[in-house]
Structure 1
Amino acid sequence: MTGNSPLVKRIAIVVGAVVLTAVVSMATTLGVSRSIEGNATAINIAGSLRMGAYELLARSSTRESESAGFIAQLDAYEARMAHPEFTRSIPDTDDHPLSRQYQTMRSLWLESLRPALTAKAGSSNQVAMENLLGLTRQYVAEADQLVSMLEDRTEARIDLLHLIQIVSLVLSIVIISGLFLDLKNRVLRPLRKLVNIADAVRQQDFSRKARFSGSDELSQLGIAFDQMTSELALSYHELKEEARGKTRELERSHAALELLHSASRSLFANHDLCSGAIPMLQDLEQLLGIGPIRLFLHDKHSSEPVEAITTSTKDRPFYCKDHHCNACLVTPEVFDELPSEDNDGRRLLLPIRTPGQLLGTLEVWYPASTGLPETSRRLLETLSDQLATAIFLERQITEEQQLTLAEERAVIARELHDSLAQSLSYLKMQVSRLRRLNIAGEHEEVHHNILEELSNGLNSAYRQLRELLTTFRLKLDTPDLATALAQTAHEFSERLGSEVKLEYRLPPQTLSPNEEIHTLQIVREGLANAVKHSDASEIVVQVLFESPRVQVRILDNGKGLPSSDQPAHHYGLIIMQDRARTLGGKVSVRNRDSGGVEVALSFVPKSRHLITSEPAISQSLQQSVKE
């Protein structure tokens, strides 16, 4: 048996060897047994021939030897010598010792002993009898030799038969022992090892290996088991890692959903994207391993999207209205490690939309090495929907408050026009009537001065009231503040007779609608004062953004202010100061070094895009009218 023979082949060889040994043993046994078949009969016949020779010798000395019966007895003796059972034990070949011995014995009988017995029958000659006895002894000696040879041959065949049986038994034992050893080493032990591997695999232990060598079936099965356990170990490890990843992803998703839930309440409660969205977006970045995130709002009056918030920046953004907040500011080292176009980053753009309206775009950066899982993408899509709802509600609230404010202003304007304006007109008419009266006497000059002062006061109050009515009726129905200021500049250019220059450098959506209205009203008030009182030939309006403040300046080259450098009891200045306080800023009026007056407004835009109340002057006027 070869070590690399297949198992079935080895078993077939062993079985074949056992069968061959059995067949050879049986065949040889059969042959040997057939070769000694009749030897016992032949030995018996040979023995009877010896006894028969002495009987014939004894009868030859009697008178019966001359009878026909003696001849018949000789023939019977000779026939017994030619008996088939006897001759069959004698080999057919002439050179065989047993065949030669038989021929010698037969020749001695035919040529010497029978003729002697026939010739000496009934004779009492002592010499003849001694010769006959000698021949008989010689014949019996040859017969004994033949019997001995037959016995030796039979015993040799029996010994050969024993030897064949022993050899067959030994070979069978050796072959069967070899088979058992081979089965133990190549079948039982490998099977036991494979069973142990299967039990280990059942217990999720993939470290055991068969490490069989060879090409038989069990070796191939062991190799297949090793490959299977290796693949199972790899698959189990991958599945385990995938399950861990899914678990971590689900935990992140759960945390992100909780974060979105709490952030949605903050967004809808504060109505402020910066304070409501940036902390939530930064927490979401840490959970999902993404960032930075930027939000762009789409302005129908701007060709490019306007950046509204960002979660990571080195410099304070231009739109930042609260300079006490550092939520989005990071160190340059942290900023440089974030994914970007120059730093192995991928970008995801998600639309922020409501049905039929695109409000903005959410820009999400994530590392290219890790990618963005599908669950994270769905969470970001949910976030974009929440932001769309928050932005839509914020704009809706702003528009509603604008409408409310416009209606409130219209009511105040109607009440002022119907009450205070008519009362002032009536007083002006009464003063005119008093002037037409001729009051003579020592108090004539005093009366005249009083009427003059009263007339001037009424005219000033009436003019200021008409300006106030114009202010209250003003609506920001132009596309944006820049367009409204351009129209205002054109309007006052016609009043002045020369061009009013406008320098406007504000980023888009820097101001809320409330801040835009108050800024526009302050500019109009400043232009009105410059056109009426400065005698200027050139007026410049500057609206600039000097982070974090908005700077508004109305510059003219007129005669300037009186020596006090501030107009005394100027009602328009009071209104401008009230509006500036509403914006959280201040208004200053001063003479320029190069000549003329500078009206300067400075304020920091508020973080909330909400319409607030009117200046205190409007409330006081409304209350006075109602009283």
Structure 2
Amino acid sequence: MNELPSLRDRLSTRIIASSLAALTVMLCMIGWTLWLSWQLEGAAAAINDTGSLRMRANGIAIELLQSDTSHANQALAGLRAQRDTLDRLKRGVPSRPLFLPDAADIRAQMAQVEATWENQLKPAITLGLAQGRADAYLAVLPGFIDKADRLVRMIETDNAAKTNLLRLSQAVLIGVASVGTLAMIYLLYLWIISPVLNLQEGLRRMAGREFSVRLPVESNDEFGLLAQGFNRMADELEGLYRDLENRVQKKTALLANQNRELGALYDMAAFLNQPNDIDALCRGFLQRVMKEFNADGGSIRVTDPLGDKLHLVVSEGLSSDLEDTEHCMKINACFCGAATRQGVVVIQDFRKLSQTEQYRCASEGFKGLSVFRIVTQDAVLGSFSLHYRNTRTIAPAEAQLLETLGQHLGVALDNRRLSAKARQLAVAEERNLVAQGLHDSIAQGLNFLNLQVQMLDSAVEREQWDEVREIVPLLRTGVDESYQDVRELLVNFRTKLGQGEMLAAVEDTVARFRRQSGIEVTLKVDDLEGAPLPPEQQLQVLFILQEALSNIRKHANASRVQVTIHNRRDFEMRIDDNGEGFDPAEVAQRGEHHVGLNIMQERAQRLSATLVLESSPGKGTHIRLALPRTERQAA
């Protein structure tokens, strides 16, 4: 980019300089004409005062011809006035203005007039006033008047010459103004309008795709720089227009490549989100990557928990011998392990490496290899490799895409592992609850039956038939209770709820308890304002209700039970009975372990709810399950 023009070459400098020159000429011409006008005005006043010399001299002659005293005084006044007029003409009065023209002959004539007045007329007036006669004054008066008339004519002649000079100056001023205006118009056209018109014409031709147009650079001012910039722009546009098709093709190819990458990422993400097992997931991933990048073989390997070995998960295009040999290998044994520690490994041609025979994939005819890590946010899970029978260059964009695909695969594998762990944890938790349920119901019943059988065996050996008859009903009752516990457990294990089915399941559970126990049960449900719980939370609420009713049947000896459910913004379930009750502190002091209550507490924790049990001897038991609105899950 060019710098700004120098101060001398700037258009603004030329315009200001020409304007100042024109202003200076005009001010000089106007000042000259004003000076001439001032001179003419002062000379005109001098002509008037010089004419008054003649009039006043004649007036003094008339006063001298009168012999009385009053006329003598007027003659003396005229004498003084004549002296004052001569002094004004001699000194000049710039304020009027009044002054004689600055010419030697006029100044000489003025001196003669003054000398004639002082040497001839003034003594004659004094003599005439003394003698009462005007003969002497009248004798010299014609000479004074003649000299005064000559002075007036000389001043008038000088004024006429200055008047002609003033008119000439005005004509010259008009000519200078006209010529200056024309010159300024021409200069403005030359400096501004013509370059603007050239630029406009260039832009018009440029708009018509005539990219060969160039502007003439005729100056070093702003318009010269603008013309140079226009020419550079025209050069660049011409070059761009020539290369436009090539650039469009390159851009189209780039966009197509980016669209291909985005499509590959979208397809891979859609595949990885499908519910496949790890083997199918890895095989599908490898097949798609090989197809996308035209690979002849490939493999996916994962690290063991210790991080020192790589296990082959799936492979494509590799021989069975290679799969068997490298099914499990040290992490530092080959490039696949190196990639997990160092990042991307790209081998364009194995033949350029030393000791090529130590690489099994090279011995199978593969010339190129690319290995990328399988990573998650926190760890490296393994690597996947692409094998090429011909040399192939991996572009940076392709390498970035493959690294991204490795991250997607890592996240998918990690999700599969986390899902498997979650399922194992859920199974373990449910097994724990099942074990607790078996221990609390069937195990205790079987223990009771075992004790009664031992007592029955002892009574039979002793032939205590009365005692046998007492034990047999107890055995029958124990078997019936164990059978009923088994049925309850089976019902609990098989219970499955869909969205919005909890109320019907609660009603079935209450009805079944009423039939099995014969206890009066009241169910109150307030479900008008609350949203339904999700199926998982509904199922846990139902399990807690079933466990609570089972405990009432076994231990409470109650005759009445009330179940109350409030499903509003907060969810609450209350189970109250009028049974025997117990002292929780006394039970805890005895160290008794109530498995059923523990099961309900664990299920409440899985709900993120609170379970409160209140009981006292003879006043029944009250259970309250509360699920706050902040812990409710969306159904």
TM bracket, shorter-chain basis: 0.3 to 0.5
Relative contact order (C-alpha < 8 Å, sep 6+): which is higher?
1
Pick the structure with greater CA Rg. Answer: 1
Q: Please, what TM-score do these two structures have when normalized by structure 1?
A: 0.39
